[in-house]
Amino acid sequence: MTTISRRNLLVAAAGATAFAAAPRTTVARQSYDNSNTAGAGAPFALPPLPYAVNALEPHIDAQTMELHHDRHHASYVNNLNEVAKAAPQIAEHPMEYVLAHLNHMPEHVRTTVRNNLGGHVNHSMYWTVMSGNGGKPEGEVLQAIERDLGGMEKFQTDFNAGGGRVFGSGWVFVTVSAAGRLAIEARSNQDTPLMNGKRVLFGNDVWEHSYYLRYQNRRPDYLKAWWNVVNWPKVAERYAAAKQGTLTI
């Protein structure tokens, strides 16, 4: 019993030390408007949609966008602000750092942080990598797709297949390394490659609330239609940031 207790104490101390030594962040770093959160001064905020709720029609309907952003994403933010009252350290470090060090979080809030902070960063990325303008990848992003993912047609087929294979709820992502290398990765629930210290170039939400009002159980139809709303200029910005080492969530 003494050995186990000592080991637990050392693990807890190591986690506290790691968080204490980590880079700190502020609400300003997140660059989100606090007007839609649980209260003024709350550490986490719901980012506003960068377009009107009907901007992605007909591929994603306005009612889905409104419910998805204003209720689903907002609930993750509100839950985080409640957790932060008991575990303020979740707001004292960059969100990507917290997700990569979940084992250092107090056990009684770890699952809540995993689910809600994962949901918050996933959705914050998701809104920005869509637009109503459509388009195609160009420049370095297109070159990387051709080099690492077999070209656009194969890439879309493999990405859609990855999203289709997610059992239940989850996401399909394109990860990007500091060298600009791309890979496809699917995750369950609100998990994210950030939890393994990776960076996300972009990703698609395959939870039913993302598509059910329009597509019902036809997830493959949603995955196919989603390519019409990918914001490729934003993806190019994220790709450049990844190579510069400045991409966060």
- Contact, 190 vs 126, CB < 8 A? no
How much is the pLDDT for 228?
A: 97
How much is the pLDDT for 30?
A: 34
* Average pLDDT over every residue of 9-34: 40
Dihedral angle, C-alpha 125, 131, 134, 138, nearest 10 °? -50
* Average pLDDT over every residue of 79-91: 95
How much is the pLDDT for 12?
A: 41
> What is the spatial distance between Cα 85 and Cα 41, in angstroms, rounded to a whole number?
12
Q: Kindly indicate the confidence band of residue 193, based on its pLDDT and cuts at 50, 70 and 90.
A: very high
| All structural domains of the chain with their residue ranges | 139-244
* Average pLDDT over every residue of 159-185: 98
Q: Which residues pair with 173 in a beta bridge?
A: 185, 203
Please write the tens of the pLDDT for every residue from 101-115: 999 999 999 999 999
Tokens 């939890």, located at residue: 195
CATH architecture of structural domain 139-244: 3-Layer(bab) Sandwich (3.55)
Closest alpha carbon to 241 in 229, 25, 137, 233: 233
Report CA-CA distances (Å) from 33 to 38, 50, 55, 129, 158. Answer: 12, 12, 21, 19, 36
- Indicate if the pLDDT at residue 212 is higher than 50: yes
How much is the pLDDT for 245?
A: 97
* Average pLDDT over every residue of 194-213: 98
* Average pLDDT over every residue of 6-20: 43
How much is the pLDDT for 41?
A: 73
- Indicate if the pLDDT at residue 61 is higher than 60: yes
* Average pLDDT over every residue of 170-199: 98
Cβ neighbors of 187 (< 8 A, separation 6 or more) are 166, 170, 171, 172, 173, 193
- Indicate if the pLDDT at residue 188 is higher than 60: yes
**Average pLDDT along the chain:** 88
Q: Kindly indicate the confidence band of residue 134, based on its pLDDT and cuts at 50, 70 and 90.
A: confident
Q: Which residues pair with 200 in a beta bridge?
A: 175
How much is the pLDDT for 34?
A: 31
Chain centroid to CA 13: how far? 29
Secondary structure string (H, E, C) spanning the chain = CHHHHHHHHHHHHHHHHHHHHCCCCCHHHHCCCHHHCCCCCCCCCCCCCCCCCCCCCCCCCHHHHHHHHHHHHHHHHHHHHHHHHHCHHHHCCCHHHHHHCHHHCCHHHHHHHHHHHHHHHHHHHHHHCECCCCCCCCHHHHHHHHHHHCCHHHHHHHHHHHHHHCCCCEEEEEEECCCCCEEEEEEECCCCHHHHCCCEEEEEECCHHHCHHHHCCCHHHHHHHHHHHECHHHHHHHHHHHHHCCCCC
> What is the spatial distance between Cα 124 and Cα 72, in angstroms, rounded to a whole number?
12
